[in-house]
Amino acid sequence: MNVLEKNKATAEDHAGHHEEPFWRKYIFSQDHKVIGVQYGFTALFFLLFGFTLMLIMRWQLAFPGKPVPIIGGLLGAANAPGGIMLPEFYNQLGAMHGTIMVFLGVVPILVGAFGNYVVPLQIGAPDMAFPKLNMASYWCYLPGGLIMLASFFVPGGAANSGWTSYPPLSNIATQGQTWWLVGMIFLITSSLLGSVNFIVTIFQLRCEGLTFMRLPYMIWSQLVTAFLLLLAFPPLEAAGILQLMDRVAGTSFFMPSGLVVSGEILEVAGGGNPLLWQHLFWFLAHPEVYVLILPAMGIVAEVIANNTRKPLWGYNAMVYSGVFLGFMSFIVWAHHMFLTGMGTAISSFFQTTTMIISVPSVVILTALLMSLWGGSIRFNTPMLFALAFLPMFGIGGLTGLPLGLAPSDIHLHDTYYVIGHFHYVVAPGTIFAIFAGIYYWFPKITGRQMSERLGKLHFWPSFIFINGVFMPMFIQGLAGVSRRLYDGGAQYTHAKDVLHWNTFISMSAWMLMVAQIPFIINLFWSIKKGAKVGANPWEATTLEWSAAPSPPIGHGNFPQIPVVTRGPYEYSPPGTDKTFLPQDAAAQEG
C-alpha cells in the first residue's frame, strides 16, 4: 500500500466507515438488519403466494367442476382447460401450498426476519457472529424459493405428492418433484448455516450482565429453535438425496419389490422401504412444527409483557418448558405413522412421548395467560394479535391430543380434522404472532408507526374469518372426510351431510384474503407516511428499544455497548415511580 492509500485507509477507519455502494449496502449486505428485512419481504411474498394457491384450490372444493373465475384462463390448458381445474393441478396446489407456507414463508419470517433483526439487538451485540454466513443463508434461501416457484412451469408442473412427498408416489411423480428436492436442499443448507449463526451469536455475543436467566423469552425461543433446525434437518437432507438417487440414478431406496404402476411392473432393483422415507421425513418434520411455534411464543411473550405493563408470569417455568419441549420434539415423530402397521410396543412408546410433550406446551400457554392477570392491558394492534394467539393455540393444541393417541388417530388420521388441528396452531397461532411482531417492531425498523385504525380493520375480520375457515374442518374430519380429495369428499356417502361446509369454508377463506388488504396497504403506506416515533414508542424494557435508538446500517448497533443490570421485564417495578426500567438502566435505580 502506498502512502496515499494508507492515509485513506486510516481516514476511513477514523471516520468509522466509508459509504458502501448500493449493491453492497442493500443487496449483498452482511448487516443483520438488512438481511432481516430482506428475509421479511421475501417471506411475506411467499406467504401471500402460498395463501393464493389455497384460495384457488378452495374454489374447486366449493364449486367442483366449475371454471375458476377471473384467473381461470391464466392457469393454462395443462392445468385448467377451460378454466376447470384438473386433479393433477389440484394436487400441485396442495403440495406447494404446504411446502411454501412452511419452508418459504413461516420459518424464514420467524427465524430469518424476526430472529435476524431482533436477536443481536436484544442481546447487545453489534451483529450476528458470522455476518458473511448470514448473507450466504439468505442467498441460499432465495434461489431455493425461486426453484420451487419455477417448478410450476416445467412439464407436469410442480410437485404434487403432498408436502410430505411420500414414496413410492413421489418417486414416480412428474419432473416437478425433482425440482422440489433440489429446492429443499438449498433451503436446508440456508437453514443449517443460519442455525449455527444463531447459536454462536446467543452464546458468545451476549453483552456484559446478560446472563441466561435475564434473556428475553424471544431469545430463548430462538435458541431452542436453532438447535431443532441444526439437528433435525440433516436427516431430511439425507432423505432428499436418497429420493433424488431413486428418481435420477434409478436406485430403490424407497421402492419396494414388485411395484406395479399402470398395469406394468416397474423395472427397478426393488427391496426398498417406503417407511424409511417416512421415518427420515418426520424426524425433521416433527421438530419443524416446534420451529413453527416456539419463535411465535417468543414474540407473543414480548408483546404481552410490554402491553400488560408487568413481568411475565412464570418466566423460569417457560424457559425450562421451552428447552424440555425442544428435547422431546426429537422423539415423538412416529405419531405421524401410527397407521403404517406399527406394533403396539413402538406405538406405545411414541404415544407416551407425545402425551408427555403436551405438558410443556400447556405450561407455556398457561404462563402467558397468567401473565395477563392483574395487568394494565393496552389493546393496541400487536396486543390484539398476541391475545388472540392464546385461545387459538389452545384449540390447536387440544385438538392434537386425539391425534397423538393411536386409537382415536385410527379414525382421524389423514382427515380434515388433522388439517383443522395443524392450521389452528400455525394460522391463527403462529401467523397471528407474526402479525403481532410486525406491528410491534415496525417502529424500530422504520422509525414510524403503523396505523392503529387499519390495524384493527385487519385484526377483527381476520380473527372472525380464520375461525370460519378452520373450525368446520373438525366437523368434516370427525365425519370421516379425507384430506387431499379433489372433489372435497363428494364421492363418499359418509361425507354427504358435511359437504355443505366446503362452500362456507371457501367463502371464509376468500373473505380472509380481503381482510389482509388493510394490512398490505398499512405496511407499505406507513413505511413512507406513518407517524414518526422516537426510539421507544411502546415504552419497552428490552435492549433493542433502549440502547439502540435507531440502529444504522453497517456501523454496529449501539453508540455504546450496553451493560445489563436487571431482568428483561421490569415493568411497574416496585420502589420507584418509573413505569418501567430498561434492562440496561443504571444498577442503583429501582
Binding site for other proteins (CB under 8 A): 17, 125-127, 129-131, 192, 195-197, 199-200, 203-205, 227, 230-235, 237-239, 241-242, 245, 249-253, 268-269, 271-273, 275-276, 279-280, 283, 327, 330-331, 334, 337, 341-346, 349, 554-556
Report in angstroms how near the CB of residue 291 gets to other proteins at its nearest. 15
How far apart CA 86 and CA 78 sit, in angstroms, is 8
Report in angstroms how near the CB of residue 250 gets to other proteins at its nearest. 3
Task: For residue 263, give the C-alpha cell.
Answer: 398395469
Q: SS3 of 460, please?
A: helix
Q: Which is nearer to other proteins, 227 or 538 (CB)?
A: 227
Whether the ω angle into residue 549 lies within 30 degrees of 0, i.e. cis, is no
Q: Which is nearer to other proteins, 234 or 590 (CB)?
A: 234
- What DSSP letter does each residue of 203-234 carry, written as one string? HH-PPTT--GGGS-HHHHHHHHHHHHHHHHHH
Q: Which is nearer to other proteins, 67 or 126 (CB)?
A: 126
Q: 10 Å Cβ neighbour count for 147?
A: 18
How far apart CA 501 and CA 111 sit, in angstroms, is 35
Report in angstroms how near the CB of residue 269 gets to other proteins at its nearest. 5
Q: SS3 of 323, please?
A: helix
The terminus-to-terminus CA distance of the chain in angstroms comes to: 54
Report in angstroms how near the CB of residue 224 gets to other proteins at its nearest. 12
Task: Give percent helix, percent strand, percent coil of the chain, each to the nearest 5.
Answer: 65, 0, 30
Q: Which is nearer to other proteins, 100 or 328 (CB)?
A: 328
Cα Rg, the chain, nearest whole Å: 25
Report in angstroms how near the CB of residue 351 gets to other proteins at its nearest. 13
How far apart CA 90 and CA 92 sit, in angstroms, is 5
How far apart CA 231 and CA 235 sit, in angstroms, is 8
How far apart CA 142 and CA 440 sit, in angstroms, is 26
Q: Which is nearer to other proteins, 51 or 233 (CB)?
A: 233
Half-sphere exposure of 482 (CA within 13 A, CB side): 9
Report in angstroms how near the CB of residue 239 gets to other proteins at its nearest. 7
Report in angstroms how near the CB of residue 283 gets to other proteins at its nearest. 6
Q: Which is nearer to other proteins, 263 or 343 (CB)?
A: 343
Report in angstroms how near the CB of residue 570 gets to other proteins at its nearest. 24
- What DSSP letter does each residue of 498-512 carry, written as one string? TTTHHHHHHHHHHHH
Q: Which is nearer to other proteins, 232 or 403 (CB)?
A: 232
Strand partners, 158: 176
Q: Which is nearer to other proteins, 506 or 557 (CB)?
A: 557
Is 114 within 8 Å of 295 (Cβ atoms)? yes
